[in-house]
Amino acid sequence: MRKTVLVLMLAGLIAGLLTAGAAQAEAPQPSTITLGDNGWSWPAGTWDPATRTAVLTQDLKATIRIAGNGITLDGNGYKTVGNGAGDGVYLLGRTGVTIKNLKVKKFTNGIQVRLGGGNTLTGITAENNNIGICVINSTGNTVADNVADNNSYQGILVQGAAGNSVTGNSACGNIFGIWLAGSGENTLAGNTASGNGGCGFWLMGSANNTLAENTANGNIVFGMHLQGCNGNTLTGNTVNDNAGGIRAMGSQNNNFTNNTVVNSGTGIYLQGCGGHVISGNTLEGNKVYGINFLNAGGSTISGNTVSGNGCGLYFWNSSNNEVFNNNFIDNTVQARAGIGSGNVFDLPKPVGGNYWSGWTGPDADGDGFVDNPYVVDRPNRLFYGQDNLPWTTENGWLASTAVRYEFIGFLPPIDNDGGSTFKLGSTVPVKFQLVDADQNPVTDANTRLYLSKITDGVVGEETEAVSNGKAGDNFFRYAAEDEQYILNLVTRDLSEGTWRLRADIGDGTSRYVMITLRGR
């Protein structure tokens, strides 16, 4: 009997030890796992202290908090899945961290980078979160080749952040594909933001960003939308089959170049804007307008092909725009204007005006220009402009002898984004550089400066600038020592508020910038 009891006690002890060991080995995952200078806080994978590289070896249901700099987290194709709250991976104030090959699902934020900078996010799949990937108040990060699809709000959010590179990502099936808020000097290139419930790309209060070679197709609202954004460049983007193509509201001095907008509601739509360059775009088969200006002025429209749209070009309450060297082909209405003044549809020879299909002759003197002007359609039968030098052939200006200069940009103290403020009564140096096709300085251009007051978003009457106190002297002088043109603008007789500066750079084109004058 005693022996039997002993055996049973020993068996119980062994079973207890085994059970305890199993319980210890299978300890539940914590809700947050930290990856820091000494590796994992919970055995989620391997850690190489020499290379500071962690490799995930299992799926998780936890937030991964990065607690060190210069760490690489290789997800190794595994995933972490949340419960609809928190972050999948969280970097606070970290630098030099790389997150790659990881799947994150069902968090508020799939990946959140806040403060710090110089981190890399690549090869990540962030789906079914509220926001797929967000970069907040952080600089110099690289977000490349990720999939941020089917999130309930933004695929990728960049907020209050500068100098980041967002390239080669997919941000589809969200409400907003890629959203920039209060961010500047970022590059968004080669991304696809299609099939979103709102907009493919949304920029708000963001300046001096570059959006290049992106695709934004089949979005429910706009392919690309800018609101309160200045000095951005949108170039080489494909924006097709959206309710609206590219739209800018309350924005200044943006460049829209070499984009393709096909089969949307409107190709390029500017509202309450000014000082833009719209050049080299293809706007085709859009249901309502190819280019639509509403309360927008002081912009240059050149080198575009506008074909098969409901209305090729429409100006409403828009003034002082230049429209030249565009192809308007087989639009139901080629161009229409109502309310507004000072719009120009041609420049002096050899630049000329535009090509209008169906208006190609006569040309009795064989100079390449139709002998009769093309009058812009006007809904109320009032006259709002005409092209006095319509070309007889598509791209006729390419065979002309026109000399064009490359405008490097306005130089300090004036900011190209229109944010410069000066004291009323002061003298403001207006400076810029020009180079030729071989990148040699242009030293003999005939350049002049003009001013217009902007009131409630409407560009007023244009006047010649006053330089060095001399009325009628609005010519720039060339400063050989600095290889730049300069005019010292006298503001003594101007008034407080926003002014548009137009620099005629001497090749038949103009460049625009806004400045603000405040009281003495």
Count of other CB atoms within 10 angstroms of residue 372: 13
Residue with tokens 């799949």: 125
CA–centroid distance for 333 within its chain: 30
Coil, strand, or helix at residue 151?
coil
Check whether 418 has a pLDDT greater than 90.
Answer: no
Q: Give the model's pLDDT for residue 280.
A: 97
Q: How confident is the model at residue 421 (pLDDT cuts 50, 70, 90)?
A: very high
Tokens representing 211?
Answer: 């959006």
Quickly list DSSP for 346-357: -BTTTTB--EET
Check whether 471 has a pLDDT greater than 80.
Answer: no
Q: What sections of 26-62 are H helices per DSSP?
A: none
- Tell me if 291 sits within 8 A of 268, measured CB to CB: yes
Side-chain half-sphere CA neighbours of 478 within 13 A: 14
Tokens representing 491?
Answer: 């503001």
The whole-angstrom separation of Cα 300 and Cα 434 is 18
Check whether 456 has a pLDDT greater than 50.
Answer: yes
Q: Is 320 exposed, middle or buried (0-12, 13-18, 19+ CB in 10 A)?
A: buried
The whole-angstrom separation of Cα 244 and Cα 294 is 15
Q: Which tens digits make up the pLDDT trace of 234-267?
A: 999 999 999 999 999 999 999 999 999 999 999 9
Classify strands 300-302 and 277-279 as parallel, antiparallel or unpaired.
Answer: parallel
Mean pLDDT of the chain: 91
Determine what percent of the chain is predicted with pLDDT higher than 90: 77
Q: Give the model's pLDDT for residue 18.
A: 36
Please state the φ and ψ torsions of residue 227, each to the nearest 5 degrees: -135, 120
User: Of 8-12, 268-272, 309-313, 320-324, where does mean pLDDT reach its minimum?
Assistant: 8-12
Supply the pTM of this predicted model: 0.78
Mean pLDDT of the region 7-20: 40
The whole-angstrom separation of Cα 402 and Cα 189 is 33
Q: Give the model's pLDDT for residue 9.
A: 41
- Tell me if 245 sits within 8 A of 264, measured CB to CB: yes
Q: Give the model's pLDDT for residue 303.
A: 96
Distance between terminal CA atoms of the chain? Answer: 108
Q: Which tens digits make up the pLDDT trace of 29-88?
A: 899 999 999 999 999 999 999 999 999 999 999 999 999 999 999 999 999 999 999 999
CA torsion through residues 490, 493, 497, 503, sign: negative
CA torsion through residues 149, 31, 122, 236, sign: positive
Check whether 330 has a pLDDT greater than 90.
Answer: yes
The whole-angstrom separation of Cα 518 and Cα 520 is 7
Q: Give the model's pLDDT for residue 402.
A: 52
Element (H, E) at 16: helix 2-25
The whole-angstrom separation of Cα 327 and Cα 284 is 11
The whole-angstrom separation of Cα 165 and Cα 190 is 11
The whole-angstrom separation of Cα 139 and Cα 186 is 9
Mean pLDDT of the region 146-168: 98
